[in-house]
Amino acid sequence: MFDVWDEPEYDEDDSEDENAWDEDSEMSHRDSTRALIHFMMQKATGKTFILQMEDPRTSYETNANYSLYPRYSQPCYGELRKYSMTHPSECTQPDNEKPSDLYWPFPDGKPVGLGLPFWQFAKDCKSLGAPHWGYEYSVTLSEDTDTFIKEFFTDDSPWRDGFGGLQNVEFYMHDPYFHRDATGKANSPLWKSDTQRIGGIVLKSCKIDPTVTVQMMWFIRDILQSKQHLWSYHQARAAGLSVKEACAYMMCSQLGSVGYHYTGSFSARRFFDVMPNDLTGGTLEDRYDYNRTDIAELWCNNFYEGDGVNYHDFFNKAKSDDPNEYRQAQRAFREMYDQEPLPIMKKWEVQKYQEAA
């Protein structure tokens, strides 16, 4: 299901010293605390994340302590960052106003791990009328959801900066189907299954760009919560589109009107070359805040010399050449890529992508 961690090995001379601490025990403590995230992700509802923080009063050289901060049933991922009204001297995006429906401030300490469940998005929900007010729902994880997630989380993913590469990911496994009544009690005989499916990820490090992370989670949510969207993704793949092309098609043609998280101005070069605009300026580990205001500009082509390139112009042109909508999108993306000028990158972006290469 997920990585298994060995018990720490203590030196024989330190066995009687209750304060003894070595590198092996330190890493085991950090990893075993992170293992609890897998357990806590079983109860995910709505937008959920679980932060693993290193206590600010300790360090790696001492007996470091780790705490978990679960955030269940959130209206958004807004509590995954600081705000000027809660952290006036530390907020790195002071122009982003704090939504009124967020209540828990970002915790103190160094972010060192992050749990991001998404199994709860793949559900059918039915409202119950009187006298049983509430909701009845079933969750279905399938081979189709597994395939999408496995294709999404690769080292070539456009959202790679949001999860730190595949080596930084532990997959959380969840039962593929269950049914709950309005009280939350499982009443289906299929509550437990021998075949589990990918239901989330746990990041072993927070050396990630949180703006990319947040858009990534909204994208996954928008695919999994709609059977039509999941079907369209797989139809695009069956039509010969690459994973990147299928994701770009979903974002530009299917999800563009879903929310404020996606761009209306799309750069094929930034997306296919995995060069998202750096809207954050640092990593979550260093307590940088994700950019709520400009998150839709992640793949924007406004930072180019000359005029921008509009995806829909190319898509409409391709319609006359091929009746298949997916291949129309594929042709549009490839022509966009060929005709776009190179992006103008900021100095720290150039250095980041040179190091990655």
Predicted TM-score of the model (pTM): 0.81
Per-residue exposure over 42-71, b if at least 16 CB sit within 10 Å of its own CB, e if not: eebeebbbbbbbbeeeeeeeeebebebebb
CB 237 within 8 A of CB 246: yes
**Strand 177-180 versus strand 197-203 pairing type:** unpaired
Distance, CA of 198 to CA of 200 (rounded, Å): 6
CB 81 within 8 A of CB 51: no
Q: Which residues contact 100 (CB under 8 A, 6 or more apart)?
A: none
Distance, CA of 10 to CA of 21 (rounded, Å): 8
Distance, CA of 102 to CA of 292 (rounded, Å): 14
User: Residue 94, exposed/middle/buried by CB under 10 A (0-12, 13-18, 19+)?
Assistant: middle
From first to last of the 357 residues of the chain, give the pLDDT tens digit.
334 333 334 344 444 434 333 444 444 567 878 888 988 998 888 899 999 998 776 555 445 688 899 999 999 999 999 998 889 899 999 888 888 888 899 999 999 999 999 998 987 555 444 444 455 556 678 889 999 999 999 999 999 999 999 999 999 998 776 555 455 454 443 444 557 889 999 999 999 999 999 999 999 999 998 888 999 999 999 999 999 999 999 988 777 655 567 765 788 888 999 989 889 999 999 999 999 888 888 888 654 444 445 666 676 666 666 678 898 889 888 988 888 877 666 655 666 666 665
Distance, CA of 156 to CA of 47 (rounded, Å): 26
Q: What is the edge-to-edge ordering of all strands in the sheet holding 134-140?
A: 123-128, 134-140, 177-180
- Encoding tokens for residue 245? 């092309």
- Encoding tokens for residue 155? 């080292």
Nearest-CA neighbor of 268 among 188, 338, 351, 194? 338
| Residue 278 one-letter amino acid | D
pLDDT in tens, 40-61: 998 888 899 999 998 776 555 4
CB 40 within 8 A of CB 199: no
Q: What is the edge-to-edge ordering of all strands in the sheet holding 110-117?
A: 66-74, 47-54, 110-117, 197-203, 169-174
- Encoding tokens for residue 355? 């190091």
